[in-house]
Structure 1
Amino acid sequence: MAADVATMRIGDREASGSPSGRFRIESVDLLRGIIIVLMALDHVHDFFGTLGANPTDLATTTAPLFLTRWITHFCAPVFFLLTGTGARLALQRLSKNELSRFLLTRGLWLLFLEVVVMRFALQFNLDYRVTIITVLWALGWSMIVLAGLIRLPDWAIVAFGVILVAGHNLLDGIQGSAFGSLAPLWSVLHAPGFLINTPRHVVFVAYPLIPWLGVTALGYALGRAYRWNDGRRRALLLRLGAGLVAGFVLLRLLNVYGDPFPWSVQKSPLWTLLSFIDTSKYPPSLLFLLMTLGPALLLLRVVDGGVPRWLRPALTIGKVPLFFYVLHFYLIHLLAVAACYLRFGSVDGMFRSPDLGHFPFTAPAGWAASLPVIYLLWAGVVLALYPLCRWYAGLKRRRRDWWLSYL
């Protein structure tokens, strides 16, 4: 996720150069940019939709709302995969010792961003009564763990990733309460739950580490393919992507393993399909990861030969994803504050810590916007941030100040 982690020296092949002679893989940046833009849709809905509602609950959702949430499922898996891939690409310019230090420091920085900068972006207060630990936490720890994993041979890193991704659903039946006072550790590793739960302070871990560590490790192994010739790399991306999609369909049809919630026949073919693709994200099940990473790899193959002109703005955003990520939360929350004041004449609930059922803030009755309005707001957020992303990407291309790598 660190913005310059994919920078590398690879000659002219599928790269965009800079005056300093450093290059980036455009297909990787493009995929990252597409995904971060999709993530913004999810977060606009978090602030302007029905707070606390589950858009993938087939008993209460609509098909458009379900699919709006479902398409954003691709975001987190791709981020973790490309975090690992970018780390491997960085070996083109860093030694393993330098890369290990890089991953360690960037991982610690992401942990700080999660619990300080992003926590404030979500709630606009510093009381820490309610804190939800999300994606930057897991990304930070993934980078820290990868800092040690890169010392191992590739086969061991792949084995580590496969075991965690394919095998973690075997642990679904284990409850955190079985560990007594160590139950919070189980929430950190596998099952979402409370790290702290007292009358004064609540810390809830939404992104357990085990599956995400595995995805990052596999992304690191994938990065090796970017040292191969074009034909060999593209064949690998095609085979992996198609294989993961086929594996998802077959395993999901069997309904025996890979997700704690089986699919079932519904009232119509459309709703049966929605049930089929309704897989568990918290933690990401094996089927969830097959469903999202397979198409992502196929898309990576499609754009491997070059970036279409109409997707260049997404490429620009993909060069500065952390910059966009931080700013878009603040912008969305500020828009919500403005909307609340204009509609209801009060913004008090926007600055108070909510309960977990109404996160990220306590909204007044009648708050939820319609889905078309949410899409319009999403477009507005992306368009508003694009000039800033373009400026910052240009700054990073022209300069090499150490602090630029932190955002």
Structure 2
Amino acid sequence: MLEGSIHRARIESIDLLRGIIIVIMALDHSHDFFGSLTSQPTDLATTTPALFFTRWITHFCAPVFFLLTGTGASLTLKRMSKSALARFLVSRGLWLIFLDVVVMRFALQFNLDYHITILVVLWALGWAMIVLAALIWLPIWLIAAFGVLCIAGHNALDNIDAAQFGAWAPLWKLLHELGVVFSIHGHTVVVAYVLIPWVAVTAMGYVLGTVYQWPAHVRRPVLFWLGVGLMLGFVVLRYVDIYGDPGPWSVQKTPLFTLMSFINCNKYPPSLLFLMMTLGPALLLLWAFDAGVPRWLRPAHTIGRVPLFFYVVHFYWIHLLAVAACWICYGTVANMFQSPDLAHFPFTAPPGWNFGLPVVYLVWAFVVISLYPLCAWYAGVRRRHDWWWLSYL
């Protein structure tokens, strides 16, 4: 979500892809608040195709965010020195970590008891930017080697159990193993976005930024063939099923469910195949949009100019809508402010809480449409002013 400290000379294709992705992300979060809190959309034994693909399409969001964060950092070098960029990345990273554990935690749970704290995307994005502040001093080929090694090789670490590190177990969980970091006196911290693969994706995004320094007739074929190569590589590696994801695919009761099994890759942490599956199409979209922004996608382009603003505001808006729905349906809202444990996250759902996918999609559409004027206004403010604090939201 790095947008640069100066917001001129933006690349429209990047803003457009970022906007499309963040609009799709809002669908996932609408389901988080209006769907069943106990459903497992990617569990083929219990899911439906509609629920599965509603969840699956949102898998593209996080990889694109991290990739374009690195790309944005690289492009910012056109407007500031490397030392200035490093300072900005550190300060911006610390700000995102604060947003995640304070501002966004409240947006998710509407309480300050800190019984449950889940470290999610902004937390990892913040650390990725801080690490990138150090990586940018390396030669670009070495940054690329670091990114490829971590992305391609981190699944070799899947069988390492954090418990074997003793007192250092929490550190390994932050780096690579999803789960509880610590739980003390009723206060539990859980890491959902581990650092090794996400830092690597951000590093590769920084490398991708160098491609945007090339002329269009050179850049576009590179984007196209990189995207095609990742997608073909995904199909081949997934088919042989030897390495790249901890969950094997299998033939299911119908061809559609077999396809679902084939593309049902691990996000927590993101496996090699998960990243190939999502970043390949993302690069093809960058290739397609490089020719210009279609008029009908201009609203997504506007939202993509202010992604962090949309991210923060839309969580509060969806949660407030859920509170209103709870009041209308149940006559009480007390449980909407209670999340005592992981089984009741992000709130304690009343009995029968599940409005179904049609309502989830209606809520999603309402949230995006209602927030668009606000995003357009804020994008205008950013375009007209160079106030330093605008780069932090």
AA partner of residue 159 (structure 1): A
> Which of 186, 206, 211 is matched with 2:172 structurally?
186
AA partner of residue 228 (structure 2): A
Question: Structure 2 CA distance, aligned partners of 1:36 and 1:357?
Answer: 27
* 2:108–2:315 Cα contact (<8 Å) kept: yes
Question: Structure 1 CA distance, aligned partners of 2:192 and 2:37?
Answer: 16
Is the alpha carbon distance of 1:259 and 1:6 closer, same or farther for their aligned partners in structure 2, counting shifts above 3 Å?
Answer: farther
Superposed CA deviations along residues 59-89 of structure 1, whole A, max 9, x for unmatched, are 1100000000000000000000000000000
Question: Structure 1 CA distance, aligned partners of 2:316 and 2:115?
Answer: 20
SS at match of 1:197: strand
- Any residues of structure 2 matched to 1:182-331 within 5 Å, and which? 182-331=168-317
The reply to whether residue 2 of structure 1 matches residue 10 of structure 2 is: no
User: Structure 2 unaligned runs (5+)?
Assistant: none
Question: Structure 2 CA distance, aligned partners of 1:175 and 1:310?
Answer: 49
Question: Structure 2 CA distance, aligned partners of 1:357 and 1:6?
Answer: 43
> Which of 64, 68, 78 is matched with 1:78 structurally?
64
The reply to whether residue 93 of structure 1 matches residue 85 of structure 2 is: no
- Any residues of structure 2 matched to 1:102-251 within 5 Å, and which? 102-251=88-237
- Residue 182 of structure 1 and its aligned partner are, at CA, apart by 1.1
- Residue 5 of structure 1 and its aligned partner are, at CA, apart by 5.8
Q: How many residue pairs are counted as aligned between the two chains?
A: 393
Question: Structure 2 CA distance, aligned partners of 1:241 and 1:290?
Answer: 9
AA partner of residue 370 (structure 2): A
- Residue 191 of structure 1 and its aligned partner are, at CA, apart by 0.8
- Residue 349 of structure 1 and its aligned partner are, at CA, apart by 0.8
SS at match of 1:284: coil
Q: Which residue of 2 aligns with 1:353?
A: 339
Of 74-83 and 346-355, deviating more is: 346-355
**RMSD of equivalent CA atoms:** 0.9
SS at match of 2:174: helix
- Residue 402 of structure 1 and its aligned partner are, at CA, apart by 0.8
> Which of 35, 45, 48 is matched with 1:59 structurally?
45
AA partner of residue 312 (structure 2): V
* 1:88–1:223 Cα contact (<8 Å) kept: yes
Of 59-68 and 198-207, deviating more is: 198-207
SS at match of 1:397: helix
- TM-score normalised according to structure 1 size: 0.95
Question: Structure 1 CA distance, aligned partners of 2:291 and 2:324?
Answer: 44
* 2:6–2:386 Cα contact (<8 Å) kept: no
Question: Structure 2 CA distance, aligned partners of 1:4 and 1:314?
Answer: 19
AA partner of residue 195 (structure 1): V
AA partner of residue 386 (structure 1): Y
Q: Which residue of 2 aligns with 1:32?
A: 18
- Residue 194 of structure 1 and its aligned partner are, at CA, apart by 1.4
SS at match of 2:180: strand
Is the alpha carbon distance of 1:5 and 1:368 closer, same or farther for their aligned partners in structure 2, counting shifts above 3 Å?
Answer: farther
- Any residues of structure 2 matched to 1:7-22 within 5 Å, and which? 7=7, 22=8
Question: Structure 2 CA distance, aligned partners of 1:129 and 1:333?
Answer: 19
Question: Structure 2 CA distance, aligned partners of 1:268 and 1:193?
Answer: 33
AA partner of residue 79 (structure 2): R
Question: Structure 2 CA distance, aligned partners of 1:350 and 1:231?
Answer: 53
Superposed CA deviations along residues 6-50 of structure 1, whole A, max 9, x for unmatched, are 84xxxxxxxxxxxxxx21000000000000000000000001111
Question: Structure 1 CA distance, aligned partners of 2:12 and 2:167?
Answer: 47
AA partner of residue 51 (structure 2): L
AA partner of residue 340 (structure 1): C
Q: Which residue of 2 aligns with 1:23?
A: 9
> Which of 326, 329, 352 is matched with 1:340 structurally?
326
Question: Structure 2 CA distance, aligned partners of 1:406 and 1:133?
Answer: 20
* 1:6–1:24 Cα contact (<8 Å) kept: no
Question: Structure 2 CA distance, aligned partners of 1:251 and 1:196?
Answer: 36
SS at match of 1:316: helix
Q: Which residue of 2 aligns with 1:15?
A: none
* 2:2–2:68 Cα contact (<8 Å) kept: no
Q: Report runs of 4+ in structure 1 exceeding 3 Å deviation.
A: 2-7
Identity %: 68
Of 326-335 and 174-183, deviating more is: 174-183
* 1:184–1:193 Cα contact (<8 Å) kept: no
- Residue 356 of structure 1 and its aligned partner are, at CA, apart by 1.0
Question: Structure 1 CA distance, aligned partners of 2:355 and 2:290?
Answer: 38
Q: Which residue of 2 aligns with 1:19?
A: none
* 2:5–2:388 Cα contact (<8 Å) kept: no
Q: Which residue of 2 aligns with 1:366?
A: 352
The reply to whether residue 386 of structure 1 matches residue 359 of structure 2 is: no
Q: Which residue of 2 aligns with 1:14?
A: none
